[in-house]
A = this chain, B = another copy of it.
Amino acid sequence: MPETKILLPESEIPTHWYNVVADMPNPPAPVLGPDGKPIGPEALAAIFPMNIIEQEVSSERWIPIPDEVREIYRLWRPSPLFRAHRLEQMLGTPAKIYYKYEGVSPAGSHKVNTAVPQAFYNREAGIKRLTTETGAGQWGSSIALAGQMFGLEVRVYMVKVSYEQKPFRRSMMHTWGAEVLPSPSPLTEAGRQILAAHPDSPGSLGIAISEAVEEAATRSDTNYSLGSVLNHVLLHQTVIGLEAKKQFELVGDYPDMVFAPCGGGSNFGGVAFPFLADKASGKAVRLVAVEPTSCPTLTRGHYAYDFGDSAGLTPLMKMYTLGHDFVPPGIHAGGLRYHGDSTLVSQLYHEGLVEAQAVAQLATFEAGLTFARAEGIIPAPESNHGIAACIEEALRCKESGESKTLFFNLSGHGHFDMAAYDRYFAHELEDYDYPSEAIEEALHHLPKVG
């Protein structure tokens, strides 16, 4: 039987990140200021270091990965590419199924791939502290770990309801030395305003972002760090797809379809963009972003300029959006509960270079359970979206007799999400029907531009 795990030596950790902007048919839509005019890089300098801002706006195809970052990557990279022999057998499909496993990182997901360079560039810029927000805690854990690696203090504003319900993600951040505060907090103007109006506010990602950005903008030793959506974040995640391509080469195979969960877009962009580069040279690979039906940004949202946060404090970005004031239902794939999407993913989807599918919550847990029983690993609820779409395709192959090569990114493990599995076992989870009127209504909430 062929190998189960396709491994690369550390010398094969990519030396450069791949910037998809260089290969896009059209340049990315500009980011606009409150006046509707394109903003320059300097507008971001209050909260990001210049190296990161340069990456955010770069159109260079290859961007070198600093040695210091590659040294940290070596703690878990290259991550293994698995051939899912047992899953194929369990499904009885003629399709070949592969998955890249990013849960091998100490923080348990792909998020560390960008947390590490972000911490590095900030330290290089003389920054002593980072602030960020976290919901479910995958991102907060990752930046806590990265901050520890480069000697930066980290303060995480954690959505209060998660802070109370997910104490062990919080413990993980403490282990790596980060400070974790429930948001809204009395430490920022944004937090104090919310608390004055709603003393019992459970918090939201939007509020937590406002607090983290406010603190970074007002302290010169402190910057802000974001875990998805932005171009530089997707750029850093391309180590996933770049490694996967080398691993497919090793076994003489190549995917017909690539699946990844899509919330802010960094998971999907990270694995898919390096394959997208091959489309120009004639490869017929299909790239599928998989989102929840309860937050169907790409599949049912509007392609328009909108704010990145719910309070409307960020610049305007052109993206698929359900309206920045959209509050997705409380599904357990917290990492996919975002009203918008990366501008890069949005534009590539709009231009037909990538595809999108929406999957209902119960189907994602069913897929995750099937996967865990075949392959052992218990996936994060976000990761279950990519698995569900891949299994569906594998079963179509069974019907049609096609032996396609299918590939998904297993972005993280579910060790800190077992309460969600418990609710699934107890039949307490449900699917959400998103009404068409709400989609229409969102149109009226979009900011007026130009």
Cβ–Cβ < 8 Å partners of A425 in chain B = 171, 174
| In the complex, A270 has a CB within 8 A of chain B | no
Contact B171 A376 (CB under 8 A): no
Distance between Cα atoms of A9 and B5 in the complex (Å)? 9
Cβ–Cβ < 8 Å partners of A415 in chain B = 108, 168, 415-416
| Partner-binding segment picked from A50-58, A68-76, A92-100, A315-323 | A68-76
**Nearest 7 pairs between A and B by C-beta?**
A106-B376, A171-B418, A168-B418, A415-B415, A4-B74, A171-B422, A106-B377
| Binary flags per residue of A156-183, CB closer than 8 Å to B gives 1, else 0 | 0000000000011001101111000000
Q: Which of A90-113 contact B (CB under 8 A)?
A: 104-108
Apart from A4-B75, A5-B75, A415-B416: 15 A-B pairs, beta carbons within 8 A: A3-B10, A106-B377, A106-B378, A108-B415, A167-B422, A168-B418, A168-B419, A171-B418, A171-B419, A171-B421, A172-B418, A174-B421, A174-B425, A175-B421, A176-B372
Contact A5 B1 (CB under 8 A): no
In whole Å, how far is A256's beta carbon from the nearest beta carbon of chain B? 25
| In the complex, A442 has a CB within 8 A of chain B | no
Residue in B76, B167, B375 whose CB lies within 8 Å of A75: B375
Cβ–Cβ < 8 Å partners of A314 in chain B = none
Distance between Cα atoms of A44 and B86 in the complex (Å)? 34
* Copies of this chain: 2
| In the complex, A389 has a CB within 8 A of chain B | no
| In the complex, A230 has a CB within 8 A of chain B | no
Contact B177 A373 (CB under 8 A): yes
A to B CB contacts below 8 Å, 27 in the list? A1-B71, A3-B9, A3-B74, A4-B10, A4-B74, A5-B10, A7-B7, A7-B9, A75-B86, A75-B375, A75-B376, A76-B376, A104-B104, A105-B376, A106-B376, A145-B376, A168-B415, A171-B421, A171-B425, A172-B418, A174-B425, A175-B369, A175-B372, A175-B373, A175-B378, A176-B373, A415-B415
| Binary flags per residue of A361-387, CB closer than 8 Å to B gives 1, else 0 | 000000001001101111000000000
Chain A interface, number of residues (Cβ within 8 angstroms): 42
Cβ–Cβ < 8 Å partners of A86 in chain B = 75
Cβ–Cβ < 8 Å partners of A405 in chain B = none
| In the complex, A148 has a CB within 8 A of chain B | yes
List the B residue with the shortest CB-CB distance to A378. B175
Q: Which of A373-424 contact B (CB under 8 A)?
A: 373, 375-378, 415-416, 418-419, 421-422
Distance between Cα atoms of A416 and B417 in the complex (Å)? 11
| Binary flags per residue of A215-252, CB closer than 8 Å to B gives 1, else 0 | 00000000000000000000000000000000000000
In whole Å, how far is A19's beta carbon from the nearest beta carbon of chain B? 27
List the B residue with the shortest CB-CB distance to A4. B74
Cβ–Cβ < 8 Å partners of A372 in chain B = 106, 175-176
Q: Which of A1-50 contact B (CB under 8 A)?
A: 1, 3-5, 7, 9-10
Distance between Cα atoms of A106 and B415 in the complex (Å)? 10
Distance between Cα atoms of A359 and B225 in the complex (Å)? 40
Cβ–Cβ < 8 Å partners of A418 in chain B = 167-168, 171-172, 175
Cβ–Cβ < 8 Å partners of A378 in chain B = 106, 172, 175
In whole Å, how far is A76's beta carbon from the nearest beta carbon of chain B? 7
Cβ–Cβ < 8 Å partners of A107 in chain B = 376
Most interface-central of A372, A418, A419 (chain B CB within 10 A): A418
Cβ–Cβ < 8 Å partners of A9 in chain B = 3, 7
Cβ–Cβ < 8 Å partners of A376 in chain B = 75-76, 105-107, 145, 149
Distance between Cα atoms of A399 and B441 in the complex (Å)? 71
Cβ–Cβ < 8 Å partners of A176 in chain B = 372-373
Distance between Cα atoms of A107 and B5 in the complex (Å)? 17
Distance between Cα atoms of A75 and B101 in the complex (Å)? 12
